[in-house]
Amino acid sequence: MKAPRKTGVRIVALMVVVTALALPLAAEERIPPFERFPRALGAMFGEVTGTGLHYHRWFGPNGLGITGGIIYQPLGAEMPWLVENTLDYNVGVAYHRRVYGDEFGTGLAGSLYLVAGGGHRGYIPVIRTYDPIVEEPVPNGEYAGDYQAAFNLGIGVGIEIILLNHISVPAEFLYGAVFTPTASDTTEWLRIAPTGQIGLRYRY
């Protein structure tokens, strides 16, 4: 009569031990990916902090992003239709403050954050001479314009969607100011307008 009782006690004790061991594992699995994988590499596209290769790092609720890119095409070379400058580079930094973040299910997480950033862009435009009759560029009619330097500042809000624990898609809405002291037209020295930024990164 005592053997079944001892067996039952052993089973209960085993269940308690397994539950105690499983609780820390379950708690660890619920840590959102932006905390488990605070670093990210990828690309960012925007005006305030620039377009190019991008690095991001969370330090608790605080984050830092760095973006940099460059395009150079010699005069006379066949340029893609998107390239209007013989030289175009930018570098920017951004500070992020996470105000909310959570994991919404398997493979889906997100965060809401405030963002403030700035950057510098320098470029040399390509000036093309056009035939007034056919309205097409004149052969060998390209020359480099004056170097332009722009300085950007912006502040706003952003969201980060994280898929499959690693694929990060940040999207930001900012009010940005662009100061271009080298512009020949004084009306182009300062411009303030809403703008957006978006990126694609891999968290690790």
Both tokens of residue 27?
């708690």
% residues pLDDT > 90 (the chain): 64
Output the pTM of the full model.
0.77
pLDDT of residue 131: 61
Q: List the chain residues with pLDDT less than 70.
A: 1-29, 78-82, 130-141
Token pair recorded at residue 83: 């390239």
- Distance (Å, rounded) from C-alpha 71 to C-alpha 35? 34
SS3 string of 102-149? EEEECCEEEEEEEEEEEEEEEEEEEEEEECCCCCCEEEEEEEECCCEE
CB atoms within 10 A of CB 101: 19
